[in-house]
């Protein structure tokens, strides 16, 4: 009888310890990961729609694990959100919403809704054909949310989403594939007016996510788009410098975006919006590329046409640099896996100049 009692007590202690470990583990990671945005974070949604903006063919995915795996990512390897997920301990990459396997309990771990060529404004990216704009991405999340409520009940679903990590990476295409694409728009609409339209729409979209239960939202600003190979080749008068107007537009938008993030944090209860300053991070990488181990900061690794490889997408006929880790840019628009790794690490662990008011890891530990 004594042996039985001792064993029983021991088992109870073991169960208690296991429960405690699970509790500690939950505090060290977010419940799930929900991703919104454009081709910088699209992991394959555009594979399933009628669009020119696809990357589900080699040499895209050349270094994606396992190698030679063109999933639809516009990169030789991983996107920033993939790397952040790995660093935070998720066992698998967050799947594309439109993938036929993203059903059932899979959605409880997170979903990626991003779509290449999309933007904040619904008209952005129409030159590529199909794309899932930000409003439609949030509509798709609403369907996922309803599925989660059906599985868990309203209260548990609310807690689950409240403990999830959300991220939004959008805005670049509103300039590259909208404002800068049409000379008429630039003549009749001032940059200030256009950016104000973007911010007003984005405000509505971010508040919608909040209203549906999102509480921790990383909002990524627009990077130095005047420095990408696409803009360098399309504006040869800039010579070896970054192109001025696209970067000026990005800076104008980013200034207003940071003010919006601060306003949302002040006025939405329990909200934790983080302003991710990728513009500053990528600018630093370009200006100090050698200190980061890069040998090339202005040209596409996967190139077909243009002095900087910026006049054609990355396709099977393209020439690929032998060492992708030495290039900042993969193709005319997108960073390499090596650059994405640096960006991800600085969003996870960087100071307030990288991500404001706190980094992702600090926020996770504070919860």
Count other C-beta atoms under 10 Å from residue 13's C-beta. Answer: 10
Contacts by 151-160, CB closer than 8 A, 24 or more apart: 151/105, 151/108, 157/213, 158/213, 160/31, 160/32, 160/108
Residues 119, 38 contacting (CB under 8 angstroms) = yes
Cα–Cα distance for residue pair 138/134, rounded to 1 Å = 6
Q: Tokens 């594939």 label which residue?
A: 177
**CA dist 108 to 37, 149, 161, 266, 288, Å?**
20, 10, 9, 29, 40
Active-site annotation, residues: 39, 331, 334
Cα–Cα distance for residue pair 50/337, rounded to 1 Å = 27
- Considering only CA atoms, which of 308, 300, 251, 239 is closest in space to residue 280? 251
């Amino acid at each position: 009888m004594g042996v039985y009692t001792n064993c029983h007590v021991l088992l109870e202690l073991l169960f208690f310890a296991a429960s405690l470990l699970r509790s500690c583990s939950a505090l060290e990671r977010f419940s799930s990961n929900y991703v919104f945005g454009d081709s910088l974070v699209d992991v394959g949604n555009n594979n399933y729609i009628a669009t020119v903006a696809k990357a589900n063919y080699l040499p895209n995915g050349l270094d994606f694990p396992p190698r030679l795996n063109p999933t639809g990512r516009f990169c030789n390897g991983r996107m920033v959100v993939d790397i952040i997920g790995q660093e935070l301990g998720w066992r698998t990459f967050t799947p594309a919403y439109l993938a036929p396997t993203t059903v059932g309990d899979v959605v409880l771990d997170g979903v990626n809704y991003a779509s290449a060529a999309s933007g904040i404004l619904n008209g952005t990216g129409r030159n590529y054909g199909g794309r899932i704009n930000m409003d439609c991405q949030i509509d798709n999340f609403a369907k996922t949310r309803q599925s989660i409520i059906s599985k868990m009940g309203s209260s548990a679903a609310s807690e689950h989403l409240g403990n999830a990590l959300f991220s939004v990476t959008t805005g670049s295409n509103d300039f590259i594939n909208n404002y800068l694409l049409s000379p008429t728009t630039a003549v009749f609409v001032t940059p200030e007016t256009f950016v104000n339209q973007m911010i007003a729409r984005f405000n509505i979209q971010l508040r919608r996510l909040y209203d549906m239960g999102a509480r921790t939202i990383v909002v990524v600003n627009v990077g130095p788009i005047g420095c990408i190979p696409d803009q360098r080749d399309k504006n040869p008068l800039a010579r070896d410098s970054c192109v001025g107007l696209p970067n000026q537009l990005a800076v104008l938008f980013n200034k207003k975006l940071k003010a919006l993030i601060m306003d949302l944090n002040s006025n939405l209860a329990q909200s934790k919006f983080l302003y991710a300053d990728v513009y500053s991070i990528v600018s630093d990488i370009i200006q100090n590329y050698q200190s980061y181990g890069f040998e090339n900061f202005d040209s596409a690794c996967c190139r077909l046409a243009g002095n900087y490889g910026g006049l054609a997408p990355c396709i099977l006929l393209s020439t690929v640099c032998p060492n992708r880790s030495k290039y900042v840019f993969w193709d005319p628009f997108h960073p390499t896996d090596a650059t994405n790794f640096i960006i991800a690490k600085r969003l996870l662990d960087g100071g307030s100049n990288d991500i404001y008011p706190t980094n992702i890891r600090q926020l996770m530990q504070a919860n």
